[in-house]
Amino acid sequence: MTPSARGPDAIELRRVALPLVAPFRTATGAHQTVEKVLIRWIAGDGEGWGECPVGLGPGSVSSVDAVWSLLLHALDAAPPALPAPAAAALEVARLDAELRAAGVSLAVHLGATRDTVDAGVAVGIAPTLEALLTEVERRREEGYRRVKLKIEPGWDVEPVAAVRERLGAEFPLHVDGNSAYRLADAAQLAQLDRFGLLMIEQPLPVDDLDGHAALARQLRTPVCLDESISSLAVLERALGLGACSIVNVKPARLGGVIAAREVHDRCRERGVPVWCGGMLETGVGRAVNVALAALPGFTLAGDLSASDRYFAVDLTPSFVLEDGRLRVPRGSGIGVDVLPDVLADVTTAIEVVRPGA
């Protein structure tokens, strides 16, 4: 069934802050808590939820304040352009409501072909090699099917060598440069070739497609692009240049789950493997990512960790690792429900927009 295209009676914005079970370091620093803007699409025949990542570097919005006023006016006659993550959250909230009313799951609506998806885990930059190896070993024991290591200049060859030795030659391992390198670092990055990595993700700046193409010619390790791939047009240019041979697909970065499916479809046509990235999502955003990752072109394990990797208590019933996989929600809409008591505990602000009021 195709969902109806009716407008909302109201849109509720919620600012939430969730403590992390352990600090997580990204390109923007070490995070003790993670902020989100949640969108609740309220219509006569139901409601739906979407999640907008905040303050996690490229692919998220810089702050709640930066996006709050834009979302408040998103239903004006001439709305301002929304940043991609906010547009994606609004789209998912609408789809969730419409698909729930139609009795259709998001996974089915997108064309999912699997009931479970392989789960990978991202490991941040650790204070010591010993701490890194302890965490990596713990994640393997938990059952994750792939480990991703964050790297940066001064923290690359030595930690990767240590982790490869600990995990063994066959365990799937890849690294993420988070744009910390420049083309002049090619010789340093080429030292990673000997570790049999699945890929090196986003080593150079977001807008440097030419540099990525030049780097790819100097490495045996496949180059994957993440934040650089902001649209189908950019994807086509990147593939034409040879800037990547693998793509990380994130709905928030692309402006919605439908755009993410289009990128998946194009990559599948071109024989380019894709995987689903994460942005410290709660169960709301994780449900969307897991449904997307069940499409046939997602052949590599994504950043689809269990809820307890990040949160002691999630906003929805927890996603649980089962033999290194997560189950694809098959209920109507995104397939999970927000837990009211948890939501109340983490909410720091609420505002409601009533179109036409």
Residue 1 resides in a domain:
no
| Residue that the structure tokens 């010619």 belong to | 217
Residue 76 resides in a domain:
yes
Task: Clarify whether residues 257 and 293 are in a common domain.
Answer: yes
Task: Clarify whether residues 97 and 126 are in a common domain.
Answer: no
Residue pair 35/7 in contact (Cβ under 8 Å)? The answer is: no
Task: Clarify whether residues 153 and 234 are in a common domain.
Answer: yes
Question: What total number of domains does the chain contain?
Answer: 2
Residue 213 resides in a domain:
yes
Domain that holds residue 215: 109-327
CA distance 107 to 295: 8
Q: Encode the chain (357 residues) as per-residue pLDDT tens digits.
A: 445 556 788 999 999 999 999 887 655 567 788 999 999 999 987 899 999 998 787 778 888 888 887 787 765 544 557 899 999 999 999 999 999 999 999 999 999 999 999 999 999 999 999 999 999 999 999 999 999 999 999 999 999 999 999 999 999 999 999 999 999 999 999 999 999 999 999 999 999 999 999 999 999 999 999 999 999 999 999 999 999 999 999 999 999 999 999 999 999 999 999 999 999 999 999 999 999 999 999 999 999 999 999 999 999 999 999 999 999 999 999 999 999 999 999 999 999 988 765
Task: Clarify whether residues 98 and 243 are in a common domain.
Answer: no
Residues 6+ away with beta carbon under 8 Å from 157: 188, 191, 192
Phi-psi region of 57 (alpha: psi -120 to 50; beta: other; left: phi over 0): left
Residue pair 43/78 in contact (Cβ under 8 Å)? The answer is: no
Task: Clarify whether residues 295 and 263 are in a common domain.
Answer: yes
**Catalytic amino acids?**
150, 250
Task: Clarify whether residues 247 and 99 are in a common domain.
Answer: no
Task: Clarify whether residues 189 and 98 are in a common domain.
Answer: no
Residue 217 resides in a domain:
yes
The SS3 of residue 276 is strand
pLDDT of 88: 95
CA distance 210 to 230: 16
Single-letter code of the amino acid located at 92? V
CATH number for the domain harbouring residue 156: 3.20.20.120
> For residue 322, how many other CB atoms are within 10 A of its CB?
12
Task: Clarify whether residues 98 and 113 are in a common domain.
Answer: no
pLDDT of 77: 45
Residue 2 resides in a domain:
no
Task: Clarify whether residues 345 and 315 are in a common domain.
Answer: no
CATH number for the domain harbouring residue 98: 3.30.390.10
Task: Clarify whether residues 290 and 169 are in a common domain.
Answer: yes
Q: 257-270 vs 84-102: helix axis angle to the nearest 10?
A: 100
Residue 169 resides in a domain:
yes
Residues 6+ away with beta carbon under 8 Å from 225: 201, 202, 212, 238, 243, 244, 246, 247, 248
CA distance 61 to 63: 6
Task: Clarify whether residues 40 and 56 are in a common domain.
Answer: yes
pLDDT of 5: 55
Residue 303 resides in a domain:
yes
Residue 63 resides in a domain:
yes
pLDDT of 72: 77
Task: Clarify whether residues 154 and 95 are in a common domain.
Answer: no
